[in-house]
Structure 1
Amino acid sequence: MRILMLSPYPPYPPRGGGALRIYHLLRGLAARHAVTLLSFAPDEAAAAAMQPLRDLAEVRIVIGPPARSLGQRALTTLASPLPDMALRNASPAYSAAFAELLASAQFEVVLAESIEMAPYLLQARKHRVRLALDEFNAEYLLQRRAALNDLRRAPRPKALIGGGYSLIQWFKLAAFERRVLQTIDRVLVVSAEDAAALRRLAPNAPLHLVPNGVDCSHFVPQAAPPSNDLVFIGTLDYRPNVDAVLWFAHEVLPHIRRHHPALRLRLIGRRPHPSLRALHDHQTIIVTGEVDDTRPALAAAAAVVIPMRIGGGSRLKLLEALAMAAPVVSTSMGAEGIPGLRNGEHLLLADTPAAMAAAVSRLVTDRPFAQRLGQAGRAFVCAGYDWAQIVPRLEAALQA
């Protein structure tokens, strides 16, 4: 197949969740098909860093998308029928590059990565080409959860503003996702839960399950001196991650430190939000920020914590931690989208502060149990979630 992939940001280096998925799908497809990537890059340095992708595929880069001020976003939240995610990557330069590629090459498939790129699929409807959307989440469901989570909290201005924004985006996204689902030829979903949520919008949508994966040849258990770190890894300005960390730091960590005062929370990831940077105290909570390689931190972790309360899809960082045989404590939502994971066999699940603190305590006091849990977690994900097993499912979906 000749495939044109549309990316909302650079998929290389593959560090964030979305970039990881795009990179591994691109790499897998390019091994058997002719792939062209049309990607945004925020600046020339980011564009230059994508050079290794040119060994896999033809790469076209557009600098952007254009910045939107908070005032512009607020205005469109009130005035536009489209959700913010359908507006954030609007770019005349990208649109022109896309039109040029469609006119100059006989692509069989256009694959848009995430709902942010769906407007470009709608632009391409007049061309004789299969249109596919890779839905990283059921986005309306994510905004619904965010809205309800904020509006349940004590009436504070920030919570009310955030909840109101998410409430508006919830309804706009539901309408937009329904339109997209009813228009295009293929929709890839990463979990059965997301598929069910999207079918509530469009019962006849052409959905295909292509879950997230992990490279088990790269994420391999390593011998490392044990640390006192409870490790959280993720993009640190992503709203569900910010919520998860704040909840863990304020509600869970105090319970843990009453019995294990040496343990500390280590936050690893890009662009720490100001509310997370403010947690950094050099002792109890360490905001490390982005690192080139997360494997040493995973290998040495006393436990990996995934305290998600908002979200959808399935967790790439959970798959990586399990592949490293790290002991994991997660909320039920943090492990959502990965069927077959069993509490007490592959990881520990806990949904209240006291239960999560008890789960962490069990892992740090019973190291043989933590090791058995880690080994079983690795066996589970490498048996069913290696990217080498997932790319054929993508090919089948695009060819169906």
Structure 2
Amino acid sequence: MRLLFLSPFPPRPLYGGAVVRNHYLARHLCERHQVWGSFVGLDGGEQFAGEVPLRSEGRRALFDPQFLWRAYRALRDNNLQMIVSTSLIAGLHGALLKLLTGLPFWMDEHNVEWHCSKRYGHRFWWLIYLLEGFILKQADHVTCVSDADRERLISGFRLDPERVVVAPNGVDYPRLANSESGEPGERPKRILFFGVLDYPPNAEAVRVLATEIAPRVEDDIQLLVAGRGGESLRDSYPDLQFHGFVDDIHALIRDCDGLVVPILAGGGTRMKILETLACDRPVVSTSCGAEGIDRVAAGEALTVTDSYEEMARWINELPRGKRSKTGPGFVELYDWEKIWQNKAPL
């Protein structure tokens, strides 16, 4: 099949959950179909049969009439057969192209955006609800990351349940599971939090880590924060060790003893938790942070609590260098290759 793949983010580096999900979906499709790629800054991607580059990134890419015309011409001139949009930001172009061409439209939802916006307390969440509803009403196929999100989409927009399929976030499990892990040696215990730090739920999690959890943690334990953005957080929370963007986040995960996820808002499923579990490191998370993750598959490696005191106790009592194994079915549920083999609607 010949596809147009629309993404509002750069193809690299893999700096956040949405970018990672897009990467593995695009890789899966390119291995099986002819794909015309549309990413910010895309230049000479060998895996793509053609390119329709975006000029704007993030929310600035929500609507670009010139890009819409270029994408329409690419669909028409190359006899493309399907439109795939990833995330709400790329969804409006996909929905409009569906109306212009009548081609099948697949919408991959990273989050239920109106629900996340309402959780954040945004005043105009209802505008996002209207936009998201318009896009999803045009979609022939919808994929989302959890059963909770699927229920929100079906009930919130009265979608046909047959059109909405859960394709959870995942990890490149064989690569992570087979990677080498160094011994802790004489270093202090290290606990990690990572993510795109300009993303409000992650910035709030850093605040909670610094003000609610760190004061309860033993002095010789290092609390590390890694991720793109969030420069202002460094000055605000000097007790945390900030590492900025890390090229190989999995090497840093393996060099730490566990992950703390004090997330209070947001949606979808946390790729940071899945990647850490796949690296055989334990995780403690709030119930919001762990939303959508199968507790049986995660096994004892995932501890869920909404008590900051219990999070701090977990950190203090965690043995240095401990390996944690996931429960049964983790690989089947959360390996990217298996996810898209089983859930892609084509």
Specify if TM > 0.5.
yes
Q: CA deviation at 1:270?
A: 0.8
Of 232-241 and 93-102, more deviation after overlay is shown by 93-102
Match for residue 15 of structure 2? 15
Distance 1:122 1:20 in 2: 23
Distance 1:217 1:187 in 2: 27
Match for residue 285 of structure 1? 240
Q: CA deviation at 1:190?
A: 0.8
Distance 1:105 1:209 in 2: 31
1:100-139 → structure 2 map (5 Å cutoff): 100-124=73-97, 125-139=99-113
Match for residue 236 of structure 1? 197
Task: Give yes or no for the alignment of 1:208 onto 2:156.
Answer: no
Q: Secondary structure at the match of 2:126?
A: helix
Q: Count residues with an aligned counterpart.
A: 339
Match for residue 116 of structure 2? 142
Deviation digits for residues 295-324 of structure 1 (CA, Å, limit 9, x no counterpart): 221112121111111111111111111110
Q: Of 168, 183, 186, which residue of structure 2 is paired with 1:225?
A: 183
The 8 Å contact of residues 237 and 270 in structure 1, kept in 2 or not, is answered as yes
Deviation digits for residues 328-380 of structure 1 (CA, Å, limit 9, x no counterpart): 11111111112234787131112121121122223237x6xx42xx2226x65
Q: CA deviation at 1:385?
A: 0.9
Q: Secondary structure at the match of 1:201?
A: helix
Distance 2:134 2:50 in 1: 31
Q: Which amino acid aligns with 1:239?
A: P
Match for residue 55 of structure 2? 63
Q: Which amino acid aligns with 1:23?
A: H
Q: CA deviation at 1:223?
A: 2.7
1:43-54 → structure 2 map (5 Å cutoff): 47-48=42-43, 51=44, 53-54=45-46
Q: Can you give the 5+ residue segments of structure 2 that lack an aligned partner in the other structure?
A: none
Q: Can you give the 5+ residue segments of structure 1 that lack an aligned partner in the other structure?
A: 42-46, 68-84, 148-165
Distance 2:173 2:205 in 1: 26
Pick closer, same or farther for the CA change 1:295–1:60 going to 2, 3 Å: same
Q: Secondary structure at the match of 2:73?
A: helix
Distance 1:375 1:138 in 2: 31
Q: Which runs of 4+ in 1 moved over 6 A?
A: none
The 8 Å contact of residues 36 and 59 in structure 1, kept in 2 or not, is answered as yes
Q: Which amino acid aligns with 2:2?
A: R
Q: CA deviation at 1:180?
A: 2.2
Distance 2:136 2:313 in 1: 43
The 8 Å contact of residues 222 and 324 in structure 1, kept in 2 or not, is answered as no
Distance 2:181 2:91 in 1: 44
Task: Give yes or no for the alignment of 1:392 onto 2:341.
Answer: yes
Deviation digits for residues 52-103 of structure 1 (CA, Å, limit 9, x no counterpart): x3235433323224x9xxxxxxxxxxxxxxxxx5x65322332222121122
Pick closer, same or farther for the CA change 1:236–1:183 going to 2, 3 Å: same
Distance 1:96 1:201 in 2: 31
The 8 Å contact of residues 244 and 308 in structure 1, kept in 2 or not, is answered as yes
Match for residue 38 of structure 2? 38
Q: Of 213, 220, 239, which residue of structure 2 is paired with 1:262?
A: 220
Q: Secondary structure at the match of 1:223?
A: coil
